[in-house]
Amino acid sequence: MCASDGTATGVTLTCPEGQAISYVQSAFYGRADNTICPDANGSPVTTSCFTPGFRNEVELRCMARRACTVPFSVVEDPCPGTSKYAKVSYGCAPKGTWGLGCRAAVQR
For residue 44, what is the domain's CATH number?
2.60.120.740
Instruction: Give the pLDDT confidence of 49-104 residue by residue, as tens digits.
Output: 899 899 999 999 999 999 999 999 899 888 888 888 899 999 999 987 765 444 44
Long-range contacts of 5-8 (CB under 8 A, 24+ apart): 5/37, 5/40, 5/83, 8/72, 8/86
- pTM strictly above 0.95: no
Give the chain's domain count.
1
Instruction: Give the pLDDT confidence of 4-56 residue by residue, as tens digits.
Output: 555 578 999 999 999 999 999 999 999 888 788 776 766 666 788 899 899 99
Residue 5, in any domain of the structure:
no
pLDDT value at position 98?
60
Structural domain of residue 56, as residue ranges? 10-107
